[in-house]
Amino acid sequence: MVKKQAVEMYDTTLRDGAQAEGISFSVADKLKIARRLDEFGIQYIEGGWPGSNPKDEEFFALAKQQSWQHASLAAFSMTRRAGIAARDDANLQKILEAETPVVTLVGKTWDFHVTHALKVSLDENLKMIEDSVRYVREHGRRVFYDAEHFFDGWHANPEYALRTLRAAAEGGAEILVLCDTNGGSLPEHIAAGVNTVQRELGIPVGIHTHNDCELGVANAMVAIQNGASQVQGTINGFGERCGNCNLISVIANLQVKMGMQCVPPGSEKQLTHLAHFVSEVANLTPDDRQPFVGHSVFAHKGGMHVDAVQKAGGQAYEHIDPESVGNERRILVSELAGTSNVREVAASLGIEIEKGSKEAKAILKEVKRLESEGYEFEGAEASFQLLVQRTLGHTVGKSQQLFDLLGVRTINEWRPNGKGEAEWITEATLKLGVDGEVMHTAAEGDGPVHALDNALRKALLMVYPEMEAIHLTDFKVRVVNTREGTAAKVRVLIESTNGDQSWSTVGVSTNIIEASWQALTESIEYGLINAAAKK
């Protein structure tokens, strides 16, 4: 039974997350992510720092025109500059112009930063904090106070660190967010700091952690267990240096494992989709090993593990039900697999194989032989299905071979393009036997694989019009035995789609063209067989 909500989620992906190396959100990206976070049920979305750059100002201007279902927008800024009144500070004026219901102000807690970074007196820093919070509160905004470097400051000068928090509280801060800005604190230090602040000030406490010791999530969880009522973090842990606390993992731990509601009931089942959505908008490949939501985190490869999962269910080797976070269990086939793996994967493809049968053993033997040569079927489910069908001596839909390869040639030529420049041109020539006829075709392409694909389509489209819908979407090459240098085997993985589904195939050879041809033809064969099966 899920308990009453006790912890609020404060997302700062659009500001702190955007500070990660390799991430640059457009205004459209920021709005897209903000809307998705709102639909998911995040309580607070920090949109950026108005006044720091035109992009954030445009975001807040457009955000005013949106209606928000669950979230309150927050704008971020620092306390006023030294020696001026809060009303005269340009940053504070900009943050009020953003017209967000929540304002998060950051101030210095560590005396070292006050005297060496700000270069002001300790007393002036206290006035800067209190004046800024009070000024924003007087304009009707809720104020969250981010105590930057709190744990370092509390360790160095505990009395002064607490005085900075009192200044924020006296100015009217609704919550004091304790920041482990350098990400260097250990869990026991976090727990002690949270307990001390609650005992001394009696005001709600939030936590903002970084992952420099790979403790971002652990430190946030410790803070919650010691009374923190708000967690600031980012989706997928995006952020500067090693990143921020990963809200995906925090939500999964709280709502799925601890029964503590922190987002609307049922939202936890959208965690995988949310994590991948934000990665895609950030133009980053989702991390296959990210806890809870990664493609590999509920994947089983060892034969003993798979056998136990089949007999006892996921609890044998899974700490939660994958579906509780929107993920899925995957059974892998490799040289480490047993016949249980083969039967499970085959069943997921609609092929039933009896336990302990000679067919299962034959398939496993063939998998192990091919993997010893460099093949890998974990990411090439279509190639595995074709292997199963070939080993069992049947196919689905079409029993005849799609075509016979009678000859193939590729030519790479460097030649002038008529614009005073030169470029590489690849031409592929194919001779195929299709339904008793010999087809001889040629086509150009941007490279050997593209040229081969074009030539194959030219030869087969008249016979198999379903090929029109099949398109290659990804092409990857991996060296299998790097010690062999240029004579090494390469593994080619091709991903294709027909618009409704996607599939992957694999080819291996010491010749990259041959490996590519294997993966390409299997991709088309799989697509055509499945298209025929649906008729």
The sign one gets for the Cα dihedral 188, 189, 193, 196 is positive
Burial 429-458 (b: 16+ CB within 10 A, else e): bbebebeeeebebebebebbbbbbbbbbbe
Question: Which of 51-55, 277-281, 475-479 has the lowest average pLDDT?
Answer: 475-479
Determine the pLDDT at residue 168. 98
Determine the pLDDT at residue 333. 59
Nearest to 91 by CA among 121, 48, 38: 48
Determine the pLDDT at residue 304. 57
Give residue 272's identity as a one-letter amino acid code: T
CA-based max dimension of the chain: 92
| Percent of the chain's residues with pLDDT above 90 | 57
287 within some domain: no
Q: Which of the listed residues 352, 372, 392 is the one where a domain comes to its end?
A: 372
Determine the pLDDT at residue 4. 47
Statement: residue 386 has pLDDT above 90: no
Same domain, yes or no, for 226 and 80?
yes
Same domain, yes or no, for 277 and 308?
no
Same domain, yes or no, for 105 and 214?
yes
Determine the pLDDT at residue 335. 47
Range(s) of the domain holding residue 329: 299-372
Per-residue pLDDT band for 199 (boundaries 50, 70, 90) equals very high
Cα–Cα–Cα angle for 55, 60, 61, nearest 5°?
95
Token pair for 75: 């704008």
Q: How far is CA 415 from CA 80, 426, 444, in A?
A: 64, 11, 14
286 within some domain: no
Residues 6+ apart with CB under 8 A from 169: 176, 201, 203
Give residue 93's identity as a one-letter amino acid code: Q
Q: Looking at the 3D structure of the chain, how many domains does it have? A: 3
Mean pLDDT of the chain: 88
162 within some domain: yes
Token pair for 305: 């593990």
Q: pLDDT by residue (tens digit) across 34-76?
A: 999 999 999 999 999 998 889 999 999 999 999 999 999 999 9
Same domain, yes or no, for 233 and 340?
no
288 within some domain: no
Per-residue pLDDT band for 404 (boundaries 50, 70, 90) equals confident
Per-residue pLDDT band for 177 (boundaries 50, 70, 90) equals very high
**To which H or E segment does residue 125 belong?**
helix 122-138
Nearest to 10 by CA among 38, 41, 44, 40: 44
Residues 6+ apart with CB under 8 A from 393: none
464 within some domain: yes
Residue 53, Cβ density class (10 Å: 0-12 exposed, 13-18 middle, ≥19 buried): exposed
Same domain, yes or no, for 228 and 100?
yes
| 8 A C-beta contact, residue 328 and residue 300 | no
Mean pLDDT of 499-508: 88
377 within some domain: no
Per-residue pLDDT band for 401 (boundaries 50, 70, 90) equals low
